[in-house]
Amino acid sequence: MTAPAAPRPRAWIPVAVTMFAIGWGANQFVSLLVAYRRDEGLSEVDVSALVGVYALGLIPALLVLGPVSDARGRGPVLRAAAVVSVLATAVLLLDQLWALYAGRLLAGVASGAAFAAGSAWVRELSGPAWDPTTVPGTGARRAATALSAGFGLGPLVAGLVAQWAPHPLTVAYLPHLVLAVAVLVPLWRSPETVPRSDTRVPLRTAVRVRSVRHPRFLRLVTPVAPWVFTAATVSLAVLPGLLADGGGAAAEYAVAVNAVVAGLTLGTGVLVQPLARRLAADDTRPAARLGTTAVLAGLLVAVGYAVSPTPWLLLPTALLLGAGYGCCLVAGLLETQRVAAAHELAGLTGVFYALTYVGFAAPLVLAALTAVAPYPVLLAVLAGVAALTLAWTSVDRS
């Protein structure tokens, strides 16, 4: 890693703010799902597919561009991601079905490029050479907090704007455009941490991540990672729709309810991260167990909510699933950074995030399976899988 001539303890901030902005752009769409169903006549399958198509852009970008940033530098990858994030929101403003799919796909590409390279960059800029006051784990916490804060504030602001502003499915996207453009200048000035080399690493070699075979990654990170966004997307994309379908005041303010649920879920995910980091200071398993326990509890409450949707059950469900999301994210990211070879940090981080985004398929899978069983049964089955994951992570395999 390239070291500075003198400490620069704030060098990580523009990178983290860029991750925040890209996270905002990635998730702002989620709180508008109810509005697209209500005002644009989108089907439940279309809405769920628009959540899932984001992952189709994100996962390949994570797996390819994370390792590329290890070999070619963090700056080029994250700067390109920031520009693509602006483009994605601009495409969403066209308000056509094809544009929604294209915009979501572009948002996924931007996120994939950003999260692996950005997390590694923040971690490196949070090291002792740049910031002598940091302690181990600070970089992972900063990256996870920036990402989660963007994920939470994006849908909260977009949803509240869409509930009460004129032209809601246009105006709701404008805050992200302003934010995403504003971060470009400070990001371009951020220092590179990957040493320049006269030897160009072939792309085929760069994308190989051998650290993925590490036993701790396979035994702990792999089973826990999908619960990060399974928890989040069930709370954001599945449960509010059940409340809206019930009619009444909840349906009238469905977009605002969706926004509040998004803010609660992802805001709780941010608030629990310091606790998760402390639990994972010496061993990641306690944080992973807390995360899967919270997911299990949230899904069990969600079963009761799905039987009789009420705001009073929706709110605790969002809090529990948000806590599970945040703990699983920090546990997985910390363990990934511990086991990654130095030259594969972004590459293995990309693999971790790719595993987390498997959870983005949950709303689409659940919607498709409603032809076979109702939501209470499907959520109960999902809770059973969470219980198995908790049992697996509770076994000591040191």
CATH number at residue 120: 1.20.1250.20
Any domain includes 121:
yes
- Picking from 98, 112, 3, 121, the residue whose alpha carbon sits closest to that of residue 46 is 98
Which pLDDT belongs to residue 134? 80
Which pLDDT belongs to residue 244? 66
Tell me how far apart the alpha carbons of residues 86 and 352 are, in angstroms, rounded to a whole number. Answer: 25
* Cα torsion angle, 177, 180, 183, 184, sign: negative
Any domain includes 197:
no
Residue-number span of the structural domain to which 298 is assigned: 12-188+213-393
Tell me how far apart the alpha carbons of residues 156 and 4 are, in angstroms, rounded to a whole number. Answer: 38
Burial class (CB in 10 A: 0-12, 13-18, 19+), 300: middle
pTM, to two decimals? 0.80
Any domain includes 220:
yes
Taking only the tens place, the pLDDT of each residue in 234-250 is 998 888 878 766 555 55
Any domain includes 194:
no
Q: Percent of the chain having pLDDT more than 70?
A: 92
Residues of the chain with pLDDT under 70: 1-6, 197-208, 244-252, 396-398
Which pLDDT belongs to residue 383? 97
CB 320 within 8 Å of CB 301:
yes
Any domain includes 170:
yes
Which pLDDT belongs to residue 268? 93
Which pLDDT belongs to residue 389? 96
Helix axes 33-40, 44-72, angle to 10 degrees: 140
Which pLDDT belongs to residue 397? 60
Taking only the tens place, the pLDDT of each residue in 151-179 is 889 988 998 998 888 888 999 999 999 99
Total domains in the fold of the chain: 1
Any domain includes 205:
no
Structure tokens at 324: 């599970």
Any domain includes 125:
yes
Cα distance between the two ends of the chain: 30
Any domain includes 398:
no
Which pLDDT belongs to residue 332? 93
Tell me how far apart the alpha carbons of residues 96 and 66 are, in angstroms, rounded to a whole number. Answer: 32
Structure tokens at 62: 């994570």
CB 275 within 8 Å of CB 291:
no
